[in-house]
């Protein structure tokens, strides 16, 4: 029994020497060759990848996180009123200056008529002020003439007073000798008193005339000061009325709303009969011929990107058959996370580093845009040539 088992074991060993080990699929003699071949393939792939990165990959950076954008024009009325007519719809192309909608203009026409009347009234009042200045100047001259008259009257009254004084003095000296009667002396005294009163009255009249002349001249100067150095075009009250007239006229013109730029109408939010307020949004115009691309590159790929470098782009809208060419014009002032409504607060709590993306603006070729129009928000793939001239 023992010999048989031993012999059986020897036979088994002999059989194993010429056959693969139990559980092995590949013969041991071929395994080394296969492993060496696999290692060679990995080495070749590594060399090829390294060569690609050195000669090709390092010359450009690319991203598929890119979107078409544009400087859209918000159409907002600059006057309030009821919408009476809307002439465009969403998706409709429009030219710059094309009529978009109208606002009821009855209130604006009334305001314009009132402003026009006030302007005409201001012009007439200015003319009246000029005529009043002339009247005040004539009155001041007349008061000056009255001063001369009052001065002459004062001279005459002084002469009469001197004569009356002399007559009374002479008669009063002769009254004691009986050469002059009491009645004659009394008459001389009355004449003296009358001459004295007339003199005082003439002197008061002169003072009054002088005061009136000064007052009239001051009134003239005050009136002239309001119009001095002005004419019917530059008078302040006329310029104010003119400004109000221009504002009313502008409000009337603003009841007709036109396209500020050429593009495609989007987000129209007004209807006929709707009351619209000054500054409320009515629609948006997208300038499809002046679009650009915001390409969101990872921060670790932007070290060699500079403004002026050329870029090649493709759109999911047209596929890879249509290529757009452009150039880098600038970088955003911050990452998307920095400008989000709720910025990340990495200073507190658990923190995991996340590679950030920075928007890079790429200007597109205008001729290519006209040949293959794009729309805001479309996805793009962008590749920047790092070796291009800056």
DSSP single-letter state for residue 20: P
Listed in sequence order, the residues at least 6 apart from 21 whose beta carbon sits closer than 8 Å to its beta carbon are 28
Structure tokens at 16: 């194993």
Q: What is the pLDDT of residue 4?
A: 40
Q: What is the pLDDT of residue 381?
A: 94
What is the reported pTM? 0.62
Using only C-alpha atoms, what is the Rg of the chain?
54
- Separation between Cα atoms, residue 188 and residue 100, nearest integer Å: 103
Helix (H) or strand (E) holding 159: helix 106-174
Q: What is the pLDDT of residues 186-224, one digit of tens each?
A: 887 888 888 889 888 988 988 888 888 888 788 777 778
- Separation between Cα atoms, residue 176 and residue 168, nearest integer Å: 14
Averaged pLDDT, groups of 10, the chain, 390 residues long: 41 45 58 76 78 64 93 93 95 95 95 96 89 82 83 87 84 72 80 88 86 81 79 88 95 95 94 93 92 92 89 92 93 79 66 84 93 92 83
DSSP single-letter state for residue 3: H
Q: What is the pLDDT of residue 120?
A: 94
DSSP 269-338: ---TT-EE-TT---EEEE-TTSEEEEEEEEGGG-TT--TT-EEEEEETTTEEEEEEEEEEEEE-SS-TTT
Q: What is the pLDDT of residue 179?
A: 72
CB-CB contact of 102 with 83 (8 Å)? yes
Q: What is the pLDDT of residue 24?
A: 53
DSSP 91-146: T-EE-TT-EEEEE--HHHHHHHHHHHHHHHHHHHHHHHHHHHHHHHHHHHHHHHHH
Q: What is the pLDDT of residue 221?
A: 78
CA nearest to 327, candidates 295, 282, 375, 372: 295
Q: What is the pLDDT of residues 128-159, one digit of tens each?
A: 888 888 887 888 788 788 888 888 888 898 89
Q: What is the pLDDT of residue 58?
A: 62
Dihedrals phi, psi of 266, to nearest 5 degrees: -145, 155
Structure tokens at 57: 């990959």
DSSP single-letter state for residue 220: H
- Separation between Cα atoms, residue 328 and residue 389, nearest integer Å: 11
Q: What is the pLDDT of residue 349?
A: 63
- Separation between Cα atoms, residue 263 and residue 92, nearest integer Å: 8
Distances (CA, A) of 51 to 63, 120, 247, 388: 21, 85, 71, 20
Domains of the chain (ranges plus CATH)? 60-72+286-385 (2.40.30.170), 73-105+255-285 (2.40.50.100), 108-249 (1.10.287.620)
């Amino acid at each position: 029994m023992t010999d048989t088992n031993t012999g059986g074991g020897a036979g088994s060993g002999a059989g194993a020497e010429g056959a693969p080990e139990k559980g092995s699929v590949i013969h041991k003699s071929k395994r080394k060759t296969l492993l060496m071949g696999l290692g060679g393939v990995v080495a070749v792939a590594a060399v090829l990848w390294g060569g690609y990165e050195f000669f090709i990959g390092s010359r450009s950076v690319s991203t598929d996180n890119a979107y078409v954008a544009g400087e859209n024009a918000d159409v907002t009325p600059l006057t309030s009123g009821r919408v009476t007519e809307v002439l465009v719809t969403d998706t409709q192309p429009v030219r710059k200056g094309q009529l978009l909608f109208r606002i009821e203009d009855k209130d604006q026409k009334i305001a314009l008529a009132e402003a026009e009347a006030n302007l005409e009234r201001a012009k007439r009042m200015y003319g009246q002020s000029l005529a009043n200045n002339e009247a005040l100047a004539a009155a001041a001259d007349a008061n000056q003439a009255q001063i001369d008259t009052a001065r002459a009257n004062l001279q005459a009254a002084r002469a009469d007073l001197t004569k009356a004084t002399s007559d009374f003095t002479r008669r009063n000296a002769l009254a004691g000798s009986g050469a002059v009667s009491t009645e004659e002396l009394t008459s001389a005294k009355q004449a003296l008193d009358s001459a004295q009163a007339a003199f005082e009255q003439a002197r008061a009249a002169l003072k009054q005339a002088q005061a009136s002349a000064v007052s009239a001249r001051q009134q003239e100067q005050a009136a002239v000061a309001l119009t001095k150095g002005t004419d019917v075009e530059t008078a302040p009250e006329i310029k104010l009325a003119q400004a109000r007239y221009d504002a009313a006229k502008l409000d009337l013109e603003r009841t007709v709303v036109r396209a500020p730029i050429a593009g495609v109408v989007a987000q129209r939010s007004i209807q006929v009969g709707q009351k619209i307020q000054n500054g409320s949004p009515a629609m948006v115009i997208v300038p499809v011929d002046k679009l650009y691309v915001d390409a969101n590159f990872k921060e670790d790929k932007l070290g060699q990107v500079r403004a002026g470098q050329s870029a090649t782009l493709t759109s999911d809208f047209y596929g890879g058959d249509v290529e757009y060419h452009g150039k880098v014009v600038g970088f955003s002032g911050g990452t998307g996370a920095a400008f989000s409504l709720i910025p990340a607060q990495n200073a507190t709590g658990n923190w995991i580093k996340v590679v950030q993306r920075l928007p890079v603006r790429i200007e597109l070729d205008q001729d290519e845009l006209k040949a293959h129009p794009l729309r805001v928000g479309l996805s793009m793939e962008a590749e920047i040539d790092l070796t291009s001239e800056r």
